[in-house]
Amino acid sequence: MFDPISATSQVGAASSAADGQGVTLRGASLAAPGDAAPDFGAFLAQLASNTADTLKAGEATALAGVRGQASTQQVVDAVMSAEQTLQSAIAIRDKVVTAFLELSRMSI
């Protein structure tokens, strides 16, 4: 299960059905043992670090462009892909946080 949100719901179902263990987001592996599902925190961390890497690459290319070592197209390309990664990271984060809040508002 790759999607942490779906994994979370599975964990919730599994724990409520069986032994009443706390519904924790970190317990995604409970639902599918052996399946290397990333937990919520790791997922966000990886998303952030990937985004940071792309942004750094964009900045480096922009600097190289100012120094005259990269063409205009390369600079625009790098900055555009950085912007795109940032946009999608923000959209995914917003969605995930919304889902998380939705989950926390669930009546128990």
- Which lies closer to other proteins via its Cβ, residue 30 or residue 43? 43
> Going residue by residue from 86 to 105, which x/- string records binding to other proteins, judged by CB under 8 A?
-xx--xx-xx----------
Let me know how many helices (H) and strands (E) the chain has, helices first.
Answer: 4, 0
Place of tokens 């063409």: 71
- Which lies closer to other proteins via its Cβ, residue 29 or residue 74? 74
| Interface residue list for other proteins (CB under 8 A) | 71, 73-74, 77, 80-81, 84, 87-88, 91-92, 94-95
